[in-house]
Each structure stands twice: as C-alpha cells, then as structure tokens.
Structure 1
Amino acid sequence: IDYNYIKNAHFHQQTEERFLEIARQNSKIRKERLAAEYGLAKSGPFKILKLDRHLQTPHDAYHSMAGKAHTLLEATFNVFNTNGENSFIKYWKQIEKPTYWLAMIIPFILRCFLKPYHIKAETLNNWLITFGIRQNSAISKLCMCWAIEAKVLKLVFSITMTENIYQKLQEYLKREHDMLIQ
C-alpha cells in the first residue's frame, strides 16, 4: 500500500500555528482538549536532545491502529446528519459493552439503523456525482469498511502472528485502502 506523505504530512508552520492557538486559550482545560485534538504536547525537559515532533511519533500497533480507527470514526460521523448521529448514539447506548469494543461493534450498530436519510444529502450527492455510488450502495460500503476495520483490529492484536494471519492482514488492509480512496 502506498502512503501519501504529502497529503498526510504535518508541516512545521501548521504545527506552530496550532501551538499558538493552544497558547491563546484562556483555560487549562480548553488548552488540554485542543492539544489532545491536535495530538500535540509541549516538549519535555530532554528537548535539548534532538527531537523532531514530526518524525518521533508512536509507531506501535496500538497507537497506529487506534489512530486509524479514530480517523475512520471521525469520517463516519462527518457524513451523518443530526438524525444519523442521534440514531447511532441511541443504538450504541442499547448495547452493553466494554468501551474498547467500539470499533468491533460499529458494523453491527450501523447495520441496525443506517438508512440514506441519516447521511447528509450533499455527501450522498457528492458520492453519486464523483464515484457513481448510489444511496443504498453507500450504506453497504460504509458498513463493509467498518467490518473490514474490525477484522483488521482483530488480526493486529492476535496473540500470535503467523504467516497466514499476516497475509490476511495485508489482504484486509488492501481492501480497506481501496474502499477508502473511492
């Protein structure tokens, strides 16, 4: 899978602007929330050692997968209208679950309630014009993308990593990549 470094880059001037925005906040709580939202933190006492905040980021499986799941969750909620958000929350609250199961049960929750009228009309029209994806197909693709994400997470956090599991993981990541760039 090719990674678009330019599209996903964090440029120094953008990071500096975000640090300034954080510094301008009046309350400590607001500063902490904004810093968490941007994924930024002040440099520690060892800054005198070489630190490049754009290169030295967590690359362990948990942070990598959690970041990907967070991005997918954010993208999913960005296509919901108010009805969609309210319906998701309603179905989410009806299921007893540990909080860390979110990515695993989202496909189930989406299949329970998601209809075209839960998605912003402009998003559906944009998908139709740009990709030729019709309303019902858009629902299926969104659910399928989350189902693949759940399978990826299951494989990534397997106790053992066999060659077979690794090949399945590559296959699922490729399928997810292909769906997301559509």
Structure 2
Amino acid sequence: MLHLRLLQRARTWGWVLVLACSPALAHAQAAAPEYALKAALLLKLPRFVYVPGLADDAPATLCVLGDNPFGATLQDLARQPIDGRQILVRPLRAGAPANGCNFVFIARSQQAELAQTLQALAGAAVVTVSDLAGFARAGGMVELARDARDDARLRIVLNPQAARAQGVGFNAQLLRLATVVEP
C-alpha cells in the first residue's frame, strides 16, 4: 500500500515537473495566476490526447468559444511550439461550426448555452474543454477544475465516455493523474 502511494506521488510530481520545466509555464507565471496556469495546461493537452485525424506532427487548432478569459496569455504562449507542435489559437463565435478546430475551450460566458453547445459539437471530432464547474459530468470531455481541498490548486477532470463517443482518446498517463467521471 505504501509502495502504491509513493508511486502515485512520483507520477504526480512527474506531471508537475513536465509542466514546470515548460517554457510556456515560465511565461504563464508572469500573467494572472489562475488563467495563466489554465492556459499552460490547455496548450499541453494535445500531447496527452488522441484526436482523430490529427497527426502527431501537425499543428493543432484551439478555438475559444465565448468571452476569452485568457486575455493575450493564450496567444502569447502559443507563439512557440509546445512539445514540438504548433498550436493555433482562434476565436469561435457561438453557433458557428467548429470546422478546423481540434480543441474547443468553452468559456464561462457560455454556461447558459452549455447543453446546446455540447450537442452541436457532438458531431465534430473535437475535444471539448472548459473550467465550468461540473462540465465533465454535463458531457464535456476535459474540465479544468479547482481542487475542493485547496482552492489555489487545479485538477483535471475527464469524461472518457464523452471522449469515446467522438473517437477521442486519453493518454494513460493523463488518465492516471486526472479524476475520471462517468455521467
């Protein structure tokens, strides 16, 4: 039991080191803390997620639906390739098709339309991400949530069932470190 606990801590610290050693995170720490960290996590996500039709060396497109909570931070961080991959960031208007998007961050400003938005994106092979509380349980794939025990910490909540329905898969390392929910 102790061995298992130590192994889990080592994996967690490994994830933290991967992020902390990232040049993107170093830049992000200069911006607003919460959304700077969320931006760094969001830009690292393509490394740990399989998206149908997205080759490992192809640029990934991250679309932000709603009011952009990241300000210029997301664009600034995306200027440099992340883990060798170029990340393109662009806005997505409500009701517009997600053509060309591999990842869609759904901002809090879209909370009232969340069910309709998830339903509209269900036909596209995109990874849905948000920091809305309960997003993963509502049918989203990746939730960037505040830790209930420590409000300053973030945790990743995954919904593998929603991901599988779109043909999206999560890396085993991400699955071990995240909280997994089934709606």
The answer to whether the superposition gives a TM-score over 0.5 is no
Whose strand fraction is larger, Structure 1's or Structure 2's? 2
Q: TM-score, normalised by structure 1?
A: 0.30
Q: TM-score, normalised by structure 2?
A: 0.30
Structure ID, larger Rg: 1
